[in-house]
Amino acid sequence: MDGHGANLPGVIALRRDLHAFPETGFLEYRTAALAAETLSGLGYAVRVGPEVMRADAMAGRPSEAAILAAQQAARAAGTPEHWIARMPGGQPGVVAELTRGEGPVLAFRFDMDALPVLETVAAAHRPVAEGFASGRPGTMHACGHDGHTAIGLTLAARLAADTGWRGRLRLIFQPTEEGGRGAKPMAEAGILDDVDWFFCGHLGCLLPSGKVAARATGFLFSRKLDVVFTGRAAHAAMGPQEGRNALLAAAAAALGLHAIARHATEATHVNVGRLVAGTGRNIIADRAEMQIEVRGETEAGLAYMAGRAEAVIAGAAAMQGVTFTTQVMGETISADTSPEAAAIVARAGAGLAEMVPDWPIGGGDDATFMMRAVQRRGGKAAYFILGADLAAVHHAVDFDIDEAALETGVRLFTRIAHSILGPGPAAQEPAAQEHAA
Amino acid sequence: MDGHGANLPGVIALRRDLHAFPETGFLEYRTAALAAETLSGLGYAVRVGPEVMRADAMAGRPSEAAILAAQQAARAAGTPEHWIARMPGGQPGVVAELTRGEGPVLAFRFDMDALPVLETVAAAHRPVAEGFASGRPGTMHACGHDGHTAIGLTLAARLAADTGWRGRLRLIFQPTEEGGRGAKPMAEAGILDDVDWFFCGHLGCLLPSGKVAARATGFLFSRKLDVVFTGRAAHAAMGPQEGRNALLAAAAAALGLHAIARHATEATHVNVGRLVAGTGRNIIADRAEMQIEVRGETEAGLAYMAGRAEAVIAGAAAMQGVTFTTQVMGETISADTSPEAAAIVARAGAGLAEMVPDWPIGGGDDATFMMRAVQRRGGKAAYFILGADLAAVHHAVDFDIDEAALETGVRLFTRIAHSILGPGPAAQEPAAQEHAA
Amino acid sequence: MDGHGANLPGVIALRRDLHAFPETGFLEYRTAALAAETLSGLGYAVRVGPEVMRADAMAGRPSEAAILAAQQAARAAGTPEHWIARMPGGQPGVVAELTRGEGPVLAFRFDMDALPVLETVAAAHRPVAEGFASGRPGTMHACGHDGHTAIGLTLAARLAADTGWRGRLRLIFQPTEEGGRGAKPMAEAGILDDVDWFFCGHLGCLLPSGKVAARATGFLFSRKLDVVFTGRAAHAAMGPQEGRNALLAAAAAALGLHAIARHATEATHVNVGRLVAGTGRNIIADRAEMQIEVRGETEAGLAYMAGRAEAVIAGAAAMQGVTFTTQVMGETISADTSPEAAAIVARAGAGLAEMVPDWPIGGGDDATFMMRAVQRRGGKAAYFILGADLAAVHHAVDFDIDEAALETGVRLFTRIAHSILGPGPAAQEPAAQEHAA
Amino acid sequence: MDGHGANLPGVIALRRDLHAFPETGFLEYRTAALAAETLSGLGYAVRVGPEVMRADAMAGRPSEAAILAAQQAARAAGTPEHWIARMPGGQPGVVAELTRGEGPVLAFRFDMDALPVLETVAAAHRPVAEGFASGRPGTMHACGHDGHTAIGLTLAARLAADTGWRGRLRLIFQPTEEGGRGAKPMAEAGILDDVDWFFCGHLGCLLPSGKVAARATGFLFSRKLDVVFTGRAAHAAMGPQEGRNALLAAAAAALGLHAIARHATEATHVNVGRLVAGTGRNIIADRAEMQIEVRGETEAGLAYMAGRAEAVIAGAAAMQGVTFTTQVMGETISADTSPEAAAIVARAGAGLAEMVPDWPIGGGDDATFMMRAVQRRGGKAAYFILGADLAAVHHAVDFDIDEAALETGVRLFTRIAHSILGPGPAAQEPAAQEHAA
């Protein structure tokens, strides 16, 4: 192991470093390059960019200007140019591999993206109090993916230092989990095609610290849509009757969407997360854009919500005499954890945490695309929940996680690796090593 | 007269030059500097910036970043640094004066600002067809102020070349008519305090080419408000019940504002011109901003609309359990044209255009602050309408004016000047001179 | 003259009697029969029912059940059966005629209907204080038509007692002015075809007591529509996703209709006056009905509002996946007072009240159908405003009129009659007679 | 046993008779009297009216006029006067008891009320095709309670004819299950206080014919509210600015209520089932009434929904400057089936139907008040689902049940009775007897 891996800071310090430099979907240049550089230094074979992400499967890619700005910000933060150059076009995916003789192919996935949330500046918020709050106003790790990436890199170092196992270990650092956009292009690039075992997890999800659920349930199918209403501008006092008001179409649509009757027999959700309309105060707004999503527990439930949403949008446009377009910007699907994989998580977690069989994830995660890719060819996949007390609900401006869960996460992944690749966890987890972490 | 004035392009060419470089309120750096440089070259005494605009009377000043960006854009377009330096802080007002012996103080006012409108790229739109469309996407001269400024500068050259009159001529180039924000700080700087006669006008307003109305009526009182709703963010699927949705508050407010019962006995208007809410698709929006305005023909009518608007906003916030703030960003008031000044316009226009006594302006113009400042000390003021066929209603993306009206405008102002400062227009308007224009 | 006319109570007592028994459109059985009986007793030739109202021109006729109930209520209040029998099918129109030798044909029109308003029970409300409040809860003379009818009957007695005039006097007692439904079927029955002069007026309209305006302006074109949304019922908790919510369609339509951009250059109005939706608390509403109206100063303005309203209704239905129907229930049109007729009102009013040339009616009145019918054949028509201080705005639950205006109204009509039919008013208005009124 | 019971028609015919004469909550006079008369005839001791329903626990009692009209309609349909006289004030509850020696007290509950739904007249709807559709337009058995009552009466006859059991059998025919209003006043009258075993069930609930679920789950807590908005009427064209629009307040509230963010971790519902606003087309509506309900799986979930609903209503009122009141009109609570009672249902159903352990009721049923009353004193209670194919979802205009489920229901209750009161079902259910049913 070279100096890079050896010098890796502890998992908490890593998470805090990542927390301070959040990057949103397809723009994780600094994060991905940090991962690639670290993994490379640890001896992993690292592939990045278009090689591990199919461009034609990317929905909702940011504008070229946004990509250039993200690259520039990463550069300014010290990111080596050669990694940026290898991840053009908003494709900061990273796949690292370490092979030790013959054995199963085991893949772990960690997501890296942050959210367009303005982190609170309240003194009581630990990232503020301890000086690792977001340095990029309007962007925040408000879902715990900083922790996921920190766990993945720490795990990479531990398993690189451990020569007892046999087989192939593949670590996937995925951009753009939010919006359900990053996993599909990675899965379609074929990186899961030979995988025997696949595991991933999520911190928090209202499961308290000290508990682990072997199997996340309640993955929702979701569809992300961008809607644009186009009307006609006019002077708001001299000729409002000449205008066609796109802002009012969007307002009516927003209310109508949130008022869609929720399904009686399954969880269904809708959200208009962003609405931008109009140009000037005394002009009838001729354009409005909305970012929305609909979700359901089943494909039928999603189809119901999506169908009702289309009707609401079309009707709201008709009310104002404006036209509209909708564009799919991302999707998530449901997937079931393989019982064999859940059993491995359950055994791995025993003694480390209080094991809970199932826990609702309460949202979605596009890791399901990867799980399905593995299962389609006969591999086994699991998605578990890593309990962590939260300061506030996911996506809130004062979200924060109990950092004690990070080390639990590293150990859980380590034990799972040993279950699959051998030898047993008992031999591989000496107290001394852990204390050093 | 020095070469500057002599080289002034024709009024149509000037208007087209201005049309191609539109600048919005308090950011008219290139336009104001062009005016100042031209007027200076013509021999006028020129005052600019804080000297002619009181900072403490400016509402809705842009951010420092926006001001710096506007200055930088003007610089890049060749604007001399010394003018920029003299107009710091978003104060690009210009007052030029020429004195010839004893006589009345006569002031004319021209407004310079453009709008946040994305000009159409349709080939049939003359600015596109003839190559003078906005070079600054998202900003457009969609109300005819480019024509006003072109008329003002052309007029300045004509009157500078004419030595027959006596008195003091003051030309006011005002930023930020839109939003009702630029006239008040200029009036409060005292630039109208010694004015005997004040005239200004507006192109278009649905009055056809070839007609002039001596007196604009129907000035509306207006109030411009910025509204901010603040809620609580939450994950839209994992914990929507924890959120408080500022986007839905704004949507309900927008619909409720437009649904305010209009007054039976006077024109009243309301517009939500801009709405920006939320950050990400799967996050309950915790912030929404609206730019709105209300108008009435009388102070009571405005108070009615403003009172109802406050109730709608407060109620919409309460519906969603969010808080809100409102801030006044500008105001316009009504003013009556002095009969003596209207009579001068009527006489000046006779023979030049078909005169109409009154014409509704159909909106507002903060020149009323200047009119009231003049009238308060016994001066006379008029606001006339200069007929011009329009390609589309004011503020529309395909707004354009019949450029033939520009020369009519220059001549009308010239004749008014001669009415006040002598000698009579007959002596001052030889056919040859006009044909050369 | 028989005892009936001689025994007619004073105009104030008559108005109070009518106020206590209000009847809404096409259901004015007691009122019309009272008029018919009185006029008959005074010696007028009286025509009623289908003879003076074309059934095929009646829009928005009440249900057969409502008509039967109204007849029954009138019967219970002592209305003679023979009048009820002559006014079947919701056609309680009355036309009375008195002919004295040769002379012009002069017609006056008085409307008789009340409104579906629940009169206040506040002790300060004069009808309550003095014991003549509506005895029919939910129905109220809240627009002054009780006064109109009282004026018409008092006038009928005066002119019957006066033998000095020559010509033909026709008094029209019209049902159903509200909603713009009663005048058209009467005009289409031909009762105006031979009329040389036609006059009518309205009490109040914000013109103070002691003033009369010779010419009402601002008649609005209006269209009345009934809208029905039809969705699909479902259990609100067991299967809301199976429902299609007509109530929400109506709610969105109501907001959208009130939010239609009002026209910049003319008064335009819209109102959703009634909305009934749904059947039970835990059922997704499968039906919603709305009664709406749109208005404009011009036919183009009305067409604009009606067109936008159709779009709003169609769009709101589409949002909820429900179907809809619209049905025209009434219309009013604009009409101009003939200058010759206005001049007669002006002369007649001089000395009786302070004359105002014009006054905006601020709404509409379907008497315009009668005015146009008269003018089409060369007759002259006027609509004047009879000033009367009001306790509250028209249609309010505490509406009341200054009853002093009633006698002024009787005298004004009397003077107009004398202007047309001779001899001059001076001879016909002895002080003694008036004091007796 | 007298002739009455012997002459009881088959369960299908009974259901059809009830279907043709539906009665809504607290107005089930004909239905209750039919039950009382039948049960009396079968030899049961029958108590009715105030004796079995506490008036002070009745929420949302109909108006006195509605009660009188229901009594009159029942009378007209041949209902004996003496039963009507014993059930004054909207209290048509019936409790029938048969005692055979010593033994446990066993209670069964059947609900009797219909819904304010206008039954479809489509020829394909079996009640239409076979001539038993509602004879009372606007009222319909659209939830299957006609089947429940028919099962209860048929069961009463079978158990009256069966002398093998020992103990006390109490049959409760409850009015007003819809709206959650009828069970509580019966429970508070003490009729469950001595009950050892309590069973009830519901037809349908999306469980197919041939299946029975031993335990209904997912009972929702619910609250039913009536909301009244009070504004100010005004003429919609002459003075809309004087009005305060209660109709728009209700419309905004309806949209806002349906748009309340549903809870992430439990089923929550809201419905505005009825909205009545305004009086006349050209009057600003001064009153609006809404019937709403909110539901949650837990008391906390209900409190969340109710709290948000109150905020929405208050905010909507504030938007329009109107006042409002809310009144609780009913409530349902959750209750758990006792395991011992579920076990009895499971055994009783075996062989009769395919047994399913749990099935979500998908709504609520105020039988939970009775279950809790029984359990509070140590008794055992169960609520099961009796599978029945449906023509449409509950509460739909074309709702209908597979009538084959009725006989299954009778047998299931019979077997349960034998389980508790002995002897075993095998002895009591000879094939011959069943075929006769």
Q: Which residues of A touch D255 (CB under 8 A)?
A: 255-256, 259
Residue D44 pLDDT greater than 90, yes or no: yes
Q: Other C-beta atoms within 10 Å of A419: how many?
A: 18
pLDDT tens-digit profile of D229-256? 999 999 998 889 999 999 999 999 999 9
Closest chain C CA to residue A262: C241
Residue D173 pLDDT greater than 60, yes or no: yes
Q: Which residues of A touch B242 (CB under 8 A)?
A: 392-393, 396
Taking CB atoms and an 8 Å limit, are C261 and B256 in contact across chains? no
ipTM: 0.80
- How many Å lie between the alpha carbon of B242 and the closest alpha carbon of chain D? 9
Of A255, A269, A360, which has the smallest distance from its Cβ to D259's Cβ?
A255
Print pLDDT tens along chain C (437 aa): 333 444 678 999 999 999 999 999 999 999 999 999 999 999 999 999 999 999 999 988 999 889 999 999 999 999 999 999 999 999 999 999 999 999 999 999 999 999 999 899 999 999 999 999 999 989 999 999 999 999 999 999 999 999 999 999 999 999 999 988 999 999 999 999 999 999 999 999 999 999 999 999 988 999 999 999 999 999 998 889 999 999 999 999 999 999 999 998 899 999 999 999 999 899 999 999 999 999 999 999 999 999 999 999 999 999 999 999 999 998 889 999 999 999 999 999 999 999 998 998 877 899 999 999 999 999 999 999 999 999 999 999 999 999 999 999 999 999 999 999 998 544 444 433 333 33
- How many Å lie between the alpha carbon of C239 and the closest alpha carbon of chain B? 21
Q: What pLDDT, on the 0 to 100 scale, is given for residue A435?
A: 35
Looking at domain B3-218+334-436, which of 3.40.630.10, 3.20.10.10, 3.30.750.24, 3.40.50.360 is its CATH number? Answer: 3.40.630.10
Strands A354-360 and A211-217: parallel
Residue D437 pLDDT greater than 90, yes or no: no
Spatial strand order in the sheet of B380-386: B45-48, B94-100, B167-174, B105-111, B197-203, B380-386, B211-217, B354-360
In degrees rounded to 5, what are phi and psi of residue C308?
Answer: -65, -40
Task: Give the confidence band of B425 by pLDDT, cuts at 50, 70, 90.
Answer: very low
pLDDT tens-digit profile of D96-142? 999 999 999 999 999 999 999 989 999 999 999 999 999 998 999 99
pLDDT tens-digit profile of B122-149? 999 999 999 999 999 899 999 999 999 9
Find all residues with CB under 8 Å of C107, minimum gap 6, and list them.
Answer: C170, C171, C172, C191, C192, C195, C197, C198, C199, C370, C374
Q: What pLDDT, on the 0 to 100 scale, is given for residue C7?
A: 65
Taking CB atoms and an 8 Å limit, are C304 and A241 in contact across chains? yes
Strand partners, C99: C168
Tell me how far apart the 2 most distant CA atoms of chain B are, in Å: 81
Task: Give the confidence band of D362 by pLDDT, cuts at 50, 70, 90.
Answer: confident
Buried b or exposed e, range C408-424, using 16+ CB within 10 angstroms: bbbbbbbbbbbbbbbee
Residue D2 pLDDT greater than 70, yes or no: no
Taking CB atoms and an 8 Å limit, are B318 and D304 in contact across chains? no
Task: Give the confidence band of A170 by pLDDT, cuts at 50, 70, 90.
Answer: very high
Taking CB atoms and an 8 Å limit, are A281 and B293 in contact across chains? yes
The DSSP secondary structure of A84-143, one letter per residue, reads: HHHSTTT---EEEEEEESS--EEEEEEE---BS------TTSHHHHTT-S-SSTT-B--S
Fold of the domain spanning A3-218+333-436 = Aminopeptidase (3.40.630)
Task: Give the confidence band of B265 by pLDDT, cuts at 50, 70, 90.
Answer: confident
Q: Which residues of D touch C251 (CB under 8 A)?
A: 250-252, 254-255, 275
Residue of C241, A299, C322 whose CA lies nearest to D394? C241
The DSSP secondary structure of A357-409, one letter per residue, reads: EEEE-SS--THHHHHHHHHHTT-EEEEEEE---BSS-TTSTT--B-THHHHHH
Q: What pLDDT, on the 0 to 100 scale, is given for residue D41?
A: 97
Mean pLDDT of chain A: 93
Over range A369-391, report the average pLDDT. 96
Taking CB atoms and an 8 Å limit, are B259 and C264 in contact across chains? no
Task: Provide residues of A within 8 Å CB-CB of chain C.
Answer: 235, 237-241, 243, 245, 248, 252-253, 255-256, 259, 261-264, 268, 284, 304, 308, 311-312, 314-321
Tokens coding B177: 């008519």
Cα–Cα distance list, A71 to A87, A132, D188 (Å): 10, 22, 71
Find all residues with CB under 8 Å of C220, minimum gap 6, and list them.
Answer: C267, C269, C295, C296, C297, C302, C332, C334, C363, C364, D237
Which architecture does CATH list for C3-219+334-436? 3-Layer(aba) Sandwich (3.40)
Task: Give the confidence band of D361 by pLDDT, cuts at 50, 70, 90.
Answer: confident
Tokens coding D132: 């038993």
Q: What pLDDT, on the 0 to 100 scale, is given for residue C431?
A: 39
Tokens coding A147: 């922790």
Q: Which residues of A touch C248 (CB under 8 A)?
A: 256, 259
Residue D286 pLDDT greater than 90, yes or no: yes
Task: Give the confidence band of D226 by pLDDT, cuts at 50, 70, 90.
Answer: very high
Cα separation, A191 vs A370, in Å, equals: 9
Q: What pLDDT, on the 0 to 100 scale, is given for residue B7?
A: 65
Percent of chain B clearing pLDDT 70 (strictly above): 95
Please state which CATH class domain D221-332 belongs to: alpha beta
* Residue bearing the bigger pLDDT, B165 or A4: B165
Domain boundaries along the sequence of chain D: 3-219+333-436, 221-332
Q: Considering the entire predicted model, what is its pTM?
A: 0.83
- Chains with 3+ CB–CB pairs under 8 A to C are A, B, D
Q: What pLDDT, on the 0 to 100 scale, is given for residue D7?
A: 65
Of C241, C304, C321, which has the smallest distance from its Cβ to A311's Cβ?
C321
Q: Which of B200-209, C359-368, D3-12, D279-288 has the lowest mean pLDDT?
A: D3-12
Q: What pLDDT, on the 0 to 100 scale, is given for residue A431?
A: 39
Q: Do domains C3-219+334-436 and C221-332 have the same CATH topology?
A: no
Classify domain D3-219+333-436 at the CATH superfamily level. Answer: Zn peptidases (3.40.630.10)
Q: Which of A45-54, D198-207, D353-362 has the lowest mean pLDDT?
A: D353-362
Mutate to test the interface with A, among C241, C282, C320 (most CBs of A within 10 A): C241
pLDDT tens-digit profile of D177-216? 998 899 999 999 999 999 999 999 999 999 999 999 999 9
Q: Which of B110-114, B123-127, D57-61 has the lowest mean pLDDT?
A: D57-61
Cα–Cα distance list, D307 to B75, C147, D250, D260 (Å): 57, 50, 17, 10
Of D251, D274, D394, which has the smallest distance from its Cβ to C251's Cβ?
D251
Strands D211-217 and D354-360: parallel
